[in-house]
Amino acid sequence: MSNWTTVTEFLLLGFSDTQQLQILHFVIFLVVYLAALVGNLLVITAVTTDHHLHSPMYYFLENFSILDLGSISVIVPKSMANSLLNNRIISYAGCVSQVFFFFLFCTAGFALLTIMAYDRYVAICKPLHYGIIMNRRACIQMAACAWTAGAINSALLTGNTFRLPFCHSNIINQFFCEIPQLLKLSCSDTNHRELAAIVFSVCSGLGCLVFIVVSYVQVFTAVWRIPSEQGRQKAFSTCIPHLIVVSLFLSTTGIAYLKPVSDSPSPLDLLAAVLYCVVPPLMNPVIYSMRNKEIQAALKQLLHRLILCKTNLPIFVS
């Protein structure tokens, strides 16, 4: 029998062994994290406080920003702390939590993107029935289904991964707990588990992707029938940001998970992980803000109120 040892902690791969580069990594991640935090919080606050944005599309966008905040907060702060403290350790429970919550937020995010495509389809192809179909109760139920689907998928993937015994090593060749890297550490044959996880995730993802494509084929067919140029531009302005976000999500995730998993540390693996963990939560608020005039107006009003509130604060002189 093999001498299996119980793993109580894992060692994550750092971006560099040099202290100066570790500090540089900390500073870059700190700036990126704060930018993502501020951007998504501004979107959430703008949608919550502006009554003009109390519609299904912006309700789903608010949920999506919450998911973006969750996904980047699960990964980046731990990586920053490790770089600052020159420490690569993550506990077994911390690794389980990181895997579970990251996949919960990512899966729920893609499910929500699918629901947002359906929302655009109903708004443009069935405008007279929009208020009936996309009522408040239906929107809450759809958002709850997205979160539930994320939790179920994440529980299956996490349970499937951490049921395995780890004995080859406790060194993860990544800056966070990533399932493909964890499977490489297992003592048992993981081919069937890898295949099952891949098939399940791919089928779920393809189902959502097909739904999005079919929805937008009908949306663009309907948009080209709109007689006025202004009407077409308004319809496109609400669809294009969503399509860009979907493309960003799929491209970064595809780069990370469709490439072969290397057995040794690779800068390409780190770069791919940064692309799908850090870039989407940072860019999504920018994409929606740049292409959506209603969001721009709401953000301007919000910033204006914040500035007025700050300038009107009383100054007490002791």
pLDDT tens-digit map of 82-137: 888 888 889 999 999 999 999 999 999 999 999 999 999 999 999 899 999 999 99
- Inter-residue contact 272 to 25 (CB < 8 Å): no
- Give the tens place of pLDDT for each residue, 14-69: 777 777 888 888 999 999 999 999 999 989 988 888 888 889 999 999 999 999 99
CA angle 220, 223, 229 (to 5 degrees): 135
144 pLDDT tier (thresholds 50, 70, 90)? very high
- Give the tens place of pLDDT for each residue, 207-242: 888 999 999 999 988 888 888 777 778 777 778 888
Tokens of 5: 């040892």
Q: Give the integer Cα–Cα distance in Å for 62 and 46.
A: 9
pLDDT at 198 over 80: no
- Inter-residue contact 74 to 101 (CB < 8 Å): yes
318 pLDDT tier (thresholds 50, 70, 90)? very low
Q: Give the integer Cα–Cα distance in Å for 146 and 138.
A: 12
Domains in the chain, CATH or no CATH each: 9-311 (1.20.1070.10)
φ, ψ (nearest 5 deg) of residue 96 = -60, -45
Give the mean pLDDT of 166-180: 82
